[in-house]
Amino acid sequence: MKKIIVNWILSTLAILITAYLLPGIGLENLAAAFIAALVLGILNAIVRPILLILTLPLNVLTLGLFTFIINAMVVSLAASLVPGFKIASFGWALLFSIILSLVNMGINRFRKE
């Protein structure tokens, strides 16, 4: 249980950092960031694998680059579900998903298990 809460807090921190860096992303408050982290986690666990399987031929054809589009779609879906979490366009969602991955990677690098 402790590990789940720590992951949730770190994901929230990554979302806050990424939203601060990108002007096309809007977060109204800290609660919106916590809810966005929760919704993104749920969508990444349930919806993203289904989308990856359904688009497997296209993903193979593009050598995996279509995964970026799927990530942007999941982020856009999360923004539409979470009040207080706004994304200006699909391009910002794509950039948000890329930067969020890099920020998560940086945060997890210093984390002890």
Q: Hey, is 25 helix, strand or coil?
A: strand
pLDDT for res 16: 94
**pLDDT tens, 22-81?**
999 999 999 999 999 999 999 999 999 999 999 999 999 999 999 999 999 999 999 999
Residue 79 near residue 33 (C-beta atoms within 8 A): no
pLDDT tier, 112 (very low <50, low <70, confident <90, very high otherwise) = low
Q: Domain locations in the chain?
A: 2-109
CB atoms within 10 A of CB 6: 11
Predicted structure pTM score: 0.89
47: Cα separation from own chain's centroid: 12
**Cα–Cα dist 34/30, whole Å:** 6
Take residue 75 and report the two structure tokens written for it.
């982020």
Question: Does the pLDDT of residue 107 top 90, yes or no?
Answer: no
Q: How many residues does the chain have?
A: 113
79: Cα separation from own chain's centroid: 10
Write the DSSP string, 52-92.
HHHTHHHHHHTTTTHHHHHHHHHHHHHHHHSTTEEES-HHH
Question: Does the pLDDT of residue 1 top 90, yes or no?
Answer: no
Residues 100-107 have a mean pLDDT of 89
pLDDT for res 35: 96
pLDDT for res 23: 94
pLDDT for res 111: 76
When computed from its CA atoms, the radius of gyration of the chain, rounded to whole angstroms, is 14
